[in-house]
Amino acid sequence: MIIAVIGDSSCSPEQAELAETVGEQLAERGATIICGGLSGVMEAVCRGAKSRGGLTVGVLPGEDASMANPWVDIPIVTGVGYARNMAVVKSAQAVIAIGGGYGTLSEIAYALKSNIAVVGLNTWSLSLNGQALDAVIRISNPTEAVDKAVAVAENKVGSV
**pTM assigned to the model:** 0.95
**Could you tell me the pLDDT band of residue 108, with boundaries at 50, 70 and 90?**
very high
Distance separating alpha carbons of residues 105 and 124, to the nearest angstrom? 7
Identify whether 49 is part of a domain. Answer: yes
> Among residues of the chain, what percentage have pLDDT more than 70?
98
Number of domains present in the structure of the chain: 1
Question: Among candidates 128, 126, 132, which has minimal Cα distance to 109?
Answer: 126
| Torsion 41-77-32-28 (CA) sign | negative
Identify whether 115 is part of a domain. Answer: yes
Q: Which of 4-18, 120-134, 145-159 has the lowest mean pLDDT?
A: 145-159
The boundaries of the domain holding residue 6 are 2-155
- Mean pLDDT for all residues in the chain: 95
Q: What is the CATH number of the domain that holds 39?
A: 3.40.50.450
Strands (E), the chain: 2-6, 32-35, 55-60, 74-77, 94-98, 118-121, 126-128, 131-133, 136-138
Identify whether 160 is part of a domain. Answer: no
- pLDDT at 160 > cutoff 70: no
pLDDT of residue 156: 77
pLDDT (average), residues 85-114 = 97
pLDDT one-digit tens code per residue, 10-56: 999 999 999 999 999 999 999 999 999 999 999 999 999 999 999 99
pLDDT one-digit tens code per residue, 89-102: 999 999 999 999 99
Q: Which residues pair with 75 in a beta bridge?
A: 58
